[in-house]
Structure 1
Amino acid sequence: MHLNTVVAALNPIALRFGPFEIHWYGAIIACAVLIALTLSVREGRRRGIKDDHFYDYILWALPAAIICARAYYVIFEWGYYSQHTDQIIAVWDGGIAIYGSLIGAFAVMYFFCKYNHLSIWLMLDVVSPTVILAQAMGRWGNFMNQEAFGVITSKAFLLKLHLPEFIINQMYIGGHYRVPTYLYESVWDLLGFIVLFSLRHRLHLFKRGEVFLSYVIWYSAGRFVIEGMRTDSLMLGSLRVSQWLSLILFVTAITLIIVRRHQKKSPWYMDGSDEQIAQTK
């Protein structure tokens, strides 16, 4: 007799306090932001950037990132949300776009650095390795919500990846096992963090701005490939929205590195802030 497969998914709600709920998605994102902030502050001290600049920045950047991440997602899914307007702000159920959050955070950083007379390239260099680490952690929020998955596959395929049982069970979505593309991207982001974290302190390797541009190249390359494996992505023509944006960012970052190397003599990342450079002269 054939028995239907029944696999229990993990509870996406971490804690309940009466009518209030704390979702794993939000808890994981909050932890990722806190770790990224802590590491950025430590690196900022070495590069001559005051701690308060990071704390002040995050107060503005975090809400902007959340709003832009949700807006990005809703815009490209307007066909659905135009009929379910009450769900537009339901970010706790997932449905936020990482690229949207990065756009919001970058816009805030641009104006923040202008206002505080900071080098935006240096600030981006300091935070970008920790951002990709936060992205690696954030994908586990997608795991808890059973989103950011790939095509239908078999349990045998997942077992070949040597995944623990709880991950395999969580990949049973809509009556089928799914390729864990969230995991692929999490691993890719973690590798990117290790590479940038290991190399950025090498003398005369990165010009100012190139740690950030290397992050863009690494992340966009991986995102382009992995996004093509997903089945729940936002589409724009023949490619997914994130693939188009990844392609644009990849080419732009490489071009900027080449152009900036030839146009002017930029300081090295390890030289630190303009104040530190002035003190050494």
Structure 2
Amino acid sequence: MLQSIPSPSPEWQGVPVGEWLTNLMPFLGNDVTLPWGATFNLANFDIRTYALCILLGILLAAWLTARRLRQRGVDGGLVIDVAVFAVILGIIGARVFHVLTYPDEYLGENFDLYNVIAVWNGGVAIFGALIAGALGIWLGCKYTGLRFTTFVDALAPGMLIAQAAGRLGNYVNHELFGQPTGLPWGLQIEATNPAFPVGLPEGTLFHPTFLYEIIWNLVGAAVILWLDRRRDIQWGKAAGLYLIWYGVGRIVWESIRINPSEVFFGIRVNVWAAIGAVVLGVIIWLVQSRRHPGLEPTPWQPGREPEDDAVDSETYSELDEADTTAEPAVGAGTATTTT
């Protein structure tokens, strides 16, 4: 019977790529001189597992988004073109939001520009990634000609899957756990962990908030895919549903975390951000449902359709389609008998 969830060994936090290379190719040596003269210790080069989890999430999201775009008749390869903008800006935004969330740690008396930009040492925030990533998607769509709403709707379930993959990195790093709990799935955290609350006895178990969010996100991805299959959720409404689903879950998980955070009016800053996501998602759903009750006529921006997919905007619209379907059948109501 499950009594607790063990934390993985600290050795899991990094992949010793440098050690493997020096063992396989001893001629490389431990110290490598770079072209500009600096010395790099190859033997100590590790790839952080958390970074690999984020990379896995990006790949899964890109694959699912490409598949969903192909169902709309769009070349799935365009995902890469948009992702170049979205991923770069998303990483920058995630780091900036994280730094602003912990100003005393990064911007206080011990300010160090290197620590501010050293994202490879950990410290990103999903809400910053969403804000800056959305800007990147908009730029990518301007470049490729795709509708912004088409792309974000295709991305919505993949985003939840990507975030679930990223939470595995938090588990490996023994971080962002919740309050103490006596539940049988409580998470084991070593008392030497800097985040272990002072005054609690060794062996205290904590809420595995990473696991809660993984389950919540995967269920949310399944819900969006199911609803989209039944109702064809378009015009940004799938993205709105994503914001609502993720925001509601994040309000709960963030409220039981014990890691330090800026607080405004007694509420953690990320809870405020999650509330904002829910409100924005509801607004998107309501406004777009009212303005666009039907389907998108094309996944392309007006005038940017490929020649073989071009749609005459003067002869095709949701209103025209509705009017056509509302016309009575030929001869209806005028039938006569002949003798």
| Alignment coverage as a number of residue pairs | 264
* Residue pair 1:207, 1:268 contacting (<8 A) in 2 also: yes
Runs of 4+ in 1 over 4 A off after TM superposition: 170-173, 274-277
**Counterpart check, 1:66 vs 2:91:** yes
Structure 1 position 257 matched with structure 2 position 282? no
Q: CA 1:23/1:68 → structure 2, altered by over 3 Å: closer, same or farther? A: same
Structure 1 residues 265 and 181, CA, compared in 2 at 3 Å: closer, same or farther?
closer
Alignment of 1:172-251 (within 5 A): 173=193, 174=196, 175=202, 176-203=204-231, 205-237=232-264, 238-251=266-279
Q: Deviations over 1:95-136 (max 9, x none)?
A: 111111111210111122234332111110001110110001
The CA RMSD measured in Å over matched residues stands at 2.5
Match of 1:129 in 2: 157
Shift of 1:45: 1.0
**Structure 2 letter corresponding to 1:99:** F
The equivalent of 1:138 in structure 2 is 166
Q: Does 1:273 align with 2:273?
A: no
For 1:101 and 1:72, the matched residues in 2 are separated by: 8
Q: Which has the higher contact order (CA 8 A, sep 6+)?
A: 1
Contact 1:143 1:170 survives alignment (8 Å)? no
- 1:68-83 to 2 correspondences below 5 Å: 68-82=93-107, 83=110
Deviation sequence 1:192-237 (CA, Å, 0-9, x none) = 111112221224x524211111111100011111110111153231
- Contact kept in structure 2, 1:46 and 1:272, CA below 8 Å: no
Counterpart of 1:14 in structure 2: which amino acid? V
Distance 1:242 1:8 in 2: 27
Contact 2:83 2:137 (8 Å CA) reproduced:
no
Question: Is this contact kept in 1: 2:65–2:158, CA < 8 A?
Answer: yes
Unmatched segments (≥5 aa) in structure 1: 1-6
Given that 2:8 and 2:172 are in contact with CA atoms closer than 8 Å, whether structure 1 keeps it comes out as no
Do 2:97 and 2:125's aligned partners in 1 also have CA atoms closer than 8 Å?
Answer: yes
Q: Normalization by structure 1: what TM-score?
A: 0.84
- CA 1:170–1:92 in 2, change beyond 3 Å: closer, same or farther? farther
Alpha-carbon separation, structure 2, partners of 1:169 and 1:127: 34
